[in-house]
Chain A
Amino acid sequence: MTTVEDRPASPPAEAPRRPNPLLALLRNSWRQLTSMRTALILLFLLAVAAIPGSVLPQRGVNPENVDRYFVEHPELAPQLDRIGAFEVFGSVWFSAIYLLLFTSLVGCILPRMRDHLRALRARPPAAPKRLDRLPQHTVLEAPAAADPAAIAAVLRRRRWRVQVRGNEVSAEKGYLKETGNLLFHTSLVAVLIGVALGSWYGWHGNKLLVAGAENAFCNTRQQYAEAKLGPRVDSADLPPFCLTLDGFDARFLPSGQPASYRATVTVDRPDGSDRRTADFAVNSPLRLGSANVYLLGHGYAPILKYTDRYGRSQTSTVPFLTSGDANLTSEGVAAFPDANVDPVTGRRDANQQVAFEGLYLPTAPDTAPFVSSRFPEERNPAVVLAAYRGNLGLDAGIPGSVYQLDQRQVTSGKLTQVGDKKLAPGETWTLDDGSKLEFLGTKRYITLSVRHDPGEKLMLGACVVLLVGLMGSLFGRRRRVWFRVTPPDSGSPTGGSSLVSAGGLPRTDHPGFAEEFAQLVAAVRDDGRPDRRAREGVE
């Protein structure tokens, strides 16, 4: 006795053709994956999985907010980080969902494509035996001359695909629905390929560019504050060009709301050739062919001249960053690590370094507190600075922000505050050790994003196809009609004329089909009939 014989329910014929269980498992899994139910569940999961990407800060969107989240939720944040919650759209689980979805999609559309290609070449199917069982049915009395060929001609004129078989005419229309549907789904795959191309072969970097030729920037990896190169891009692949900010024009409404921004730059190659000037603005980036330059933001860089106790002076132009304040209250730090070098010994004392930290207010209020600007333009500019002396901690080799003092040095007492002051342009502040700080004025700076994304053209093309396909898919309607000509029957009440029975079948939801069918039948009935009006009068 074998186990197979223990199962009388299974038909005996199946036993010898029992497939390899592994193959069966694979095939069943594939069927499951490509079923509509699975696709719907995956779509739903995709939507749900995207939600944390909007609720939690994302590294790709705003890395500063992620850092702040780590500070505010020191317990929870590392846990969330482990499951990729701060990089949802690059996380394993999000990728798994959309890759499964796209696999399911491909598995679904490939067989449908094959079927559709077959259907496009196939002839409309033969008429069912009982046309009166179809959703649309009518019998019309026609003259003896009404033959299948004439009916076929009427249908062809109305762009039906027609097949005549003996006394039957089959016709089908609306292949565009499935064509559109397949185009739509195929172009989704193309969009995904475009995204992949962009992330492999694309690169981008952010740069803060202060006005003036001495601050010019050239497109190399080292010059970016932050840059991201796709895995297939090498630093040497970056196109060579340099940018100099010549001018920046910002206009504001009396309320302080910005009205327009425009940056004027000089573009050239590193060797100085191909020099030209160009304008660009928000919404109209500088397109260089090999890369695009986008204007993201702007601000002011105070020029500070520090004269140390030995009388040696250094000038520093320091971009102060805005913290999202519409009136451009900005924060920054000017560090002078090489201050107070003893001219006799030539030795640099690491504990006599100087830094100034504080705010820049384009329009300072008339009275204290001087903590926020009143207007984004420079109507009453002032820096409000605190001076620090001691070890800045720059020599420790630990990377730190150039926009903030190392707070560890302050709390450990290695760096101490030695006073604070508000300075208008041209004013000089003499510190307790006799050294001086002069506020010379400001320069404009802009923040730029420089990008190259080779997948964009493919994505754009795919999106156009996607839309066209979507329209066809949603508004196309597949339907079939059949006409059967019954030869004159002498015994019939109609006498010598033949009977034409017609049936119609909408293959998709089509509320207007009854009307279309009626019109079609009327056209067949009246085809080539000069006395149409007279006949209708009789009826």
Chain B
Amino acid sequence: MSAVSDQLVTFAILVYLIAMISHAVEYALGNVRAVSARVAPARELVGAGVGGAGVDKVDGPVADAPAGTPPPTRRSRSAGRARLAGRIAAGLTVLAAALHLGALVTRGIAADRMPWGNMYEFVLTVTWIGTAAWLVVLWKRPALRRLGLFLTLVMVLLLAFAELKLYVPVVPLMPALQSYWFIIHVSTIVFSSGIFLLGVVPAVSFLLRNGYEQGRRSFPYTLARRLPGAADLERLTFALHAFAFPIFTFAVIAGAIWAEAAWGRAWGWDPKETWAFISWVVYAGYLHARATPSVKRNVATWIAVLGFLTVLMNLFGVNFFFTGLHSYAGVE
């Protein structure tokens, strides 16, 4: 089972990689108007995921296309190809997510527990949550599909890093982790981290796009030429963070309750706890900044990006550089 899991991870990385290339093709071929015109294409994701059958059907109602549709020029042909590439990319992402889930499940079966016992398994789960949440977003807002390029890039990088640097064989849990709080605390931490991970994609895209819409045409901003509108990206950023923040808060509280039972104190400024506190404060700052009209939206979004950096620091930095009570990573 453990070997199956390892192979599934490798396959998942490969499929994410191909999905990323498809997204890149879509990105290279497409143009902005072709995307923004398609406002309500329902269920295309399901069609692409289940098989080719549904794809043709949803192609028809290009909902709000202007009445005088231009003749099939070279440009619109390439737009059509871009759309196809984008759909293939979305379908591949579904496939990769399925393989990824399979890897998690087989890993859990091999270990006979939830697959969150060390850093390798943790990263594997966080990235899967990120992908799954992305697929939900994609289903509800297909117009945001181009963000998939950045998402798959992040997935490939994180999963490859996990596979190469963090891999540890399957072992049972340490006594300190043998508690039902393990499931409650770690699952919510994993879930909220996954949503924060996803949330940083529209956040960075918004920062790029916002600069682009304000007329900047120098390097990183040019990347945003074909991204969805800044306002949509910003709203999605907020929605994801507002969704993840209470879960993260709950996870930290659950961790404190567990820490009381395991270590005798609810809060002890262990490095992991300190960085969770920092993340919480930064994300609270983001939500406040977002709710304050006098703070510009791009300033607020920068705070969200900073928050994600603190989450990364907590996951990687604290595990590698500090020793503390949370040293279960298996990366000595």
A interface residues, Cβ below 8 angstroms from B: 36-37, 39-40, 43-44, 46-47, 50-51, 53-55, 58, 60-61, 88-89, 195, 204, 253, 255, 257-261, 281-285, 292, 294, 296, 449, 451, 453, 456, 459-460, 463, 466-467, 470-471, 474-475, 509, 511
Distance (Å) between the CB of A465 and the closest chain B CB?
A: 11
Query: Cβ of B246 and Cβ of A474 under 8 Å apart?
Result: yes
A-B interface pairs (CB < 8 A), number: 122
Query: Cβ of A54 and Cβ of B245 under 8 Å apart?
Result: no
Distance (Å) between the CB of A12 and the closest chain B CB?
A: 32
Interface residues of B in 249-286 (CB under 8 A from A): 249-250, 253, 256-258, 260-271, 274-275, 277-278, 281-282, 284-285
Distance (Å) between the CB of A186 and the closest chain B CB?
A: 15
Query: Cβ of B242 and Cβ of A283 under 8 Å apart?
Result: no
Partner of B172, one of A53, A259, A283: A259
Distance (Å) between the CB of A405 and the closest chain B CB?
A: 27
Query: Cβ of A470 and Cβ of B264 under 8 Å apart?
Result: no
Partner of A466, one of B249, B269, B274: B249
Return the chain B residue nearest A194 by Cβ: B266
B69 within 8 A of A: no
Task: Known pairs A294-B264, A296-B264; list 14 more (Cβ under 8 Å).
Answer: A47-B282, A51-B274, A54-B318, A58-B269, A204-B265, A257-B171, A261-B175, A283-B258, A284-B179, A451-B264, A451-B265, A459-B256, A474-B245, A474-B287
Compute how far the CA of A283 lies from the CA of B325 in the bound complex, rounded to whole angstroms: 13
Interface SS of B by simple majority: helix
Partner of A294, one of B181, B263, B318: B263
- Known contacts A54-B318, A294-B264; A471/B285 CB under 8 A: no
Partner of A253, one of B172, B246, B287: B172
B214 within 8 A of A: no
B322 within 8 A of A: yes
Query: Cβ of B264 and Cβ of A43 under 8 Å apart?
Result: no
Partner of A282, one of B175, B253, B267: B175
Q: Which of chain B's residues have a CB closer than 8 A to the CB of A55?
A: 322
- Which of A50, A54, A294, A471 has the most CB atoms of chain B within a 10 A radius of its CB? A54
Return the chain A residue nearest B257 by Cβ: A460
Q: Which of chain A's residues have a CB closer than 8 A to the CB of B238?
A: 509
Compute how far the CA of A470 lies from the CA of B247 in the bound complex, rounded to whole angstroms: 10
Return the chain B residue nearest A455 by Cβ: B266
Query: Cβ of B294 and Cβ of A36 under 8 Å apart?
Result: yes
Compute how far the CA of A51 lies from the CA of B174 in the bound complex, rounded to whole angstroms: 28
Compute how far the CA of A294 lies from the CA of B264 in the bound complex, rounded to whole angstroms: 6
- Known contacts A40-B288, A60-B268, A511-B235; A283/B310 CB under 8 A: no
Query: Cβ of B281 and Cβ of A43 under 8 Å apart?
Result: yes
B32 within 8 A of A: no
Q: Which of chain A's residues have a CB closer than 8 A to the CB of B331?
A: none
